[in-house]
Amino acid sequence: MGAKAKKALKKNMKKISASAAASSSSSSQLAVPENPKPSADFLPLGGGPARKAPVTKPVESKATVLYIGRLPHGFYETEIEAFFTQFGTVKRVRVARNKKTGKSKHFGFIQFEDPEVAEIAAGAMNDYLLLEHMLQVRVIPPEHVKPNLWKGFKCQYKPVDWVQIERKQHNKERTLEEHRKMLNKVVKRDQKRRKRIEAAGIEYQCPELVGNTQPLPKKIKFSED
């Protein structure tokens, strides 16, 4: 590069630096608006000025009742309350039971005092393996909780003693007419059994019923007339 070319390059660099300094000083002297307009989130389709999206607050959950499914055998009210107390205060527990036998239907409900505790317990215990059963735990919204859900949850269910009921039914005092009906049913059942044995091709001589000629019952209830 010659001497003339070097001089021309220096002049051009000085001009560029001078113009840059002038532009920076002018931009610094510009007035800043006191109330800048907030940035808009969207423009309405029907036209008009830009609008800001409304700020939505997160909805706080008020659900405190949990559904617990796939309960294993032996994991009942007392065990559920003792196990879930590690998360927080438990208000009440109910296990669905059969009305006749009193046995568990393998699902139930539990209620906490704090909604946050209920959310944490549902998230921690859902799909939790307990005694070879995968628990199914979920939060029940307050609008889906039935008013009779906790009806009689403190009552300890006593299973019905069906043996005692059948014993009383068998040993009750009967009238002569009731005793004849009972004997006729016994004879009819015996005849059906004999026919089934013959239809099967089995050679068997069934023993005769004792008392098919209407013997006197042990207890007979006589009418006052």
Structural contact between residues 104 and 76, judged by C-beta atoms closer than 8 angstroms: yes
Mean pLDDT over 143-161 rounds to 79
Report residue 171's pLDDT band, with 50, 70 and 90 as the boundaries. confident
Query: Is pLDDT at 154 greater than 60 in this prediction?
Result: yes
The residue behind tokens 């660099």 is 13
pLDDT of residue 63: 87
pLDDT of residue 109: 95
Structural contact between residues 28 and 83, judged by C-beta atoms closer than 8 angstroms: no
Mean pLDDT over 138-163 rounds to 82
Q: What letter does residue 181 receive in the DSSP assignment? A: H
Query: Is pLDDT at 65 greater than 90 in this prediction?
Result: yes
Listed in sequence order, the residues at least 6 apart from 41 whose beta carbon sits closer than 8 Å to its beta carbon are 50, 51, 52, 53
pLDDT of residue 101: 78
Q: Where are the domains of the chain?
A: 65-159, 173-200
**pTM of the model as a whole:** 0.49
Q: Express each pLDDT in 78-124 by its tens digit.
A: 999 999 999 999 999 999 988 777 888 999 999 999 999 999 999 99
pLDDT of residue 206: 80
pLDDT of residue 141: 92
Report residue 40's pLDDT band, with 50, 70 and 90 as the boundaries. low
Q: What letter does residue 142 receive in the DSSP assignment? A: G
CATH 3.30.70.330 for the 65-159 domain, yes or no: yes
Question: Mean pLDDT highest for which of 81-95, 148-162, 168-182?
Answer: 81-95
Report residue 22's pLDDT band, with 50, 70 and 90 as the boundaries. low
Listed in sequence order, the residues at least 6 apart from 154 whose beta carbon sits closer than 8 Å to its beta carbon are 92
